[in-house]
Structure 1
């Protein structure tokens, strides 16, 4: 897949760390990688954004932002309040397509969830994925409440006839509770797509060298890694 769109069930679910893990795994396999962040919100002109963080963790990836807005809001709202131009889905698709001519893999990391507005014409990450005809990877939290949010995202992807690549748990704790352990079986059942990985909680705080070495062990072979959902579930539900 030359382009993979990465979204979440909401904000603060681990999208950037998952994006970095996918990038690090691809780099380890000898692939060239670009990370595209269409709209970065909540950071100032000189602050590090999500694409910068993915590159810090993953290594030598090309990074590109199309818009940056200071307030931590939905991109359309943040752009409007800042008096800056928004980033419509067509611009996202064109930028990703250009990067795909120069890289083996392009990762497009959204802002928040699938239907967060990018512009005042109600453009979303889903619209960009449609223009790109790209699969969508969903990052979900581990615990209570994730089943409903993940299933709603899955239903929207299918309603829009977008390819649903699967789900990665963005932050898996050392001591998962009962709901988290049950969700290992329930998440793929309710969303009708495979569980493709689980990134340990706090992975973004590891040294870049350790992060890069460990990333393939957090992701399924379909994402280039060696993680096995059945083995992981057995180890966490025994």
Structure 2
């Protein structure tokens, strides 16, 4: 799996922290890792972006960012308002392929959800994944409302014939409510894909050394970790 595309069911679902966990787990296994942020929005020229945050948490990754726009909007809208060139799916795929030539694993982090537009022609992260023929990992929230957005994302991946790697819960609460605990069984059912991890809420605030030590325990063996979905489900069962 030289390239893994990481998307979310929406914004603020834990996508960047999950990307960092995947990167940290791969680095711990001795793999070389590159992180490609296709388009960074809402961040100034001298501020740290998502790729920088992944590197801070995970360690020695190669960082790449194709474009940066100041307003926190969808990439196509942010590019248009800033009077700058948008990032197109073919450019994302080309950059990822070039990074894959020199790394064991390339993580391509999108912006928001799978169908957020990157350009005015309607290009999306799904289009880039198609060009790359790369598996897609979906990061979803734990609680109420996640089943609908996760299933919609899964249906689009299926419609396009993309390889749906699985779902990671991007922020598992310390005290999960009933909906969150029920969703451990329901998310694989509605998505048709395995649950591949649960990143603890607040993991991004851990000291980097603690984050790196903990990351393999948050992810399933398919992502290089030791997390056991069945055991976790029994432990958290309603």
TM superposition score normalised by structure 1: 1.00
| Displacement of 1:237 | 1.2
| Displacement of 1:143 | 0.1
Aligned residue in 1 for 2:189: 189
Aligned residue in 1 for 2:93: 93
Alignment root-mean-square deviation, CA: 0.5
| Displacement of 1:212 | 0.1
CA distance in 2, matches of 1:83, 1:157: 31
Aligned residue in 2 for 1:156: 156
CA distance in 1, matches of 2:62, 2:136: 20
CA distance in 2, matches of 1:203, 1:193: 24
Aligned residue in 2 for 1:82: 82
Tell me, yes or no, if structure 1 residue 231 matches structure 2 residue 238. no
CA distance in 1, matches of 2:170, 2:191: 16
- SS of match in other structure, 1:158: helix
TM superposition score normalised by structure 2: 1.00
| Displacement of 1:153 | 0.1
Aligned residue in 1 for 2:130: 130
Q: Structure 2 unaligned runs (5+)? A: none
CA distance in 1, matches of 2:160, 2:120: 20
- SS of match in other structure, 1:176: coil
Tell me, yes or no, if structure 1 residue 121 matches structure 2 residue 121. yes
Structure 1 segment 1-238 matched on structure 2, within 5 A? 1-237=1-237
Which runs of structure 1 show a deviation greater than 4 angstroms over 4 or more consecutive aligned residues? none
CA distance in 2, matches of 1:63, 1:202: 23
Q: Which deviations, in whole Å up to 9, do the C-alpha atoms of 1:196-231 show, x marking residues without a partner?
A: 000000000000000000000000000000000000
CA distance in 2, matches of 1:79, 1:26: 33
Q: Structure 1 unaligned runs (5+)? A: none
CA distance in 1, matches of 2:83, 2:190: 41
CA distance in 1, matches of 2:211, 2:217: 10
Q: Which deviations, in whole Å up to 9, do the C-alpha atoms of 1:176-204 show, x marking residues without a partner?
A: 00000000000000110000000000000
CA distance in 1, matches of 2:220, 2:35: 20
CA distance in 2, matches of 1:160, 1:215: 31
- SS of match in other structure, 1:155: helix
- SS of match in other structure, 2:38: strand
Q: Which deviations, in whole Å up to 9, do the C-alpha atoms of 1:5-56 show, x marking residues without a partner?
A: 0000000000000000000000000000000001000000000000000000
